Amino acid sequence: MKITIRVDKNYGIETAYPVCDNAQILARIAGTKTLTRHALRDIAALGIEIEIQQTAPRTFAHLTA
């Protein structure tokens, strides 16, 4: 089994957001909207592969035009 998460920084803190249905179910079981490092460690200990979705780099070209 594999889950997909997206990692973003909020106020300098990395936050793991569940992307796929299985990751969302695990977050609900954990009682959170995001997955903590501890939860991800426990998920990996169960043998579940964790895939990190790559996001496109953010550009601010629209601000300089």
- The tens digit of pLDDT for each residue in 10-37 reads 888 899 999 999 999 999 999 999 999 9
Structure tokens at 13: 């803190």
pLDDT on residue 44: 97
Q: Where are the alpha helices (DSSP H) in 1-65?
A: 21-30, 37-45, 61-64
The domains of the chain are located at 2-55
CA distance 59 to 49: 31
CA distance 53 to 56: 10
pTM > 0.85: no
| Mean pLDDT value across residues 32-60 | 89
